[in-house]
Amino acid sequence: MHIRSLLLVPALALSGQLLASPALLVFGASHHSGCDTRKYRCEFESFNPGAGVEWGWDQSLLAGGMPLVRAGVYRDSYDETAAFMAAGWRRTWPLGGRWEVGLVVLAGYLHGSGIDGFAALPLATLGYGPLALELGYIPKGQVGSMQGDVAVTTVNLRWAF
Report the alpha-carbon distance of residue 110 to residue 20 in Å, rounded. Answer: 23
Half-sphere exposure of residue 42, counting CA atoms within 13 Å on the CB side?
A: 14
Report the alpha-carbon distance of residue 129 to residue 160 in Å, rounded. Answer: 9
Give the pLDDT of the chain (161 residues) as one tens digit per residue: 455 544 444 444 344 555 678 999 999 999 888 887 787 777 888 999 999 999 998 766 556 788 999 999 999 988 999 999 999 999 999 999 999 999 999 999 999 888 889 999 999 999 999 999 999 998 876 655 555 577 889 999 999 99
pLDDT at 147: 53
Beta strand spans in the chain (E): 21-33, 47-56, 66-75, 81-96, 99-112, 115-128, 131-142, 149-160
Report the alpha-carbon distance of residue 70 to residue 6 in Å, rounded. Answer: 33
DSSP 8-state code for residue 7: H
Report the alpha-carbon distance of residue 17 to residue 20 in Å, rounded. Answer: 8
Query: Cα 124 vs. chain centroid, distance in angstroms?
Result: 10
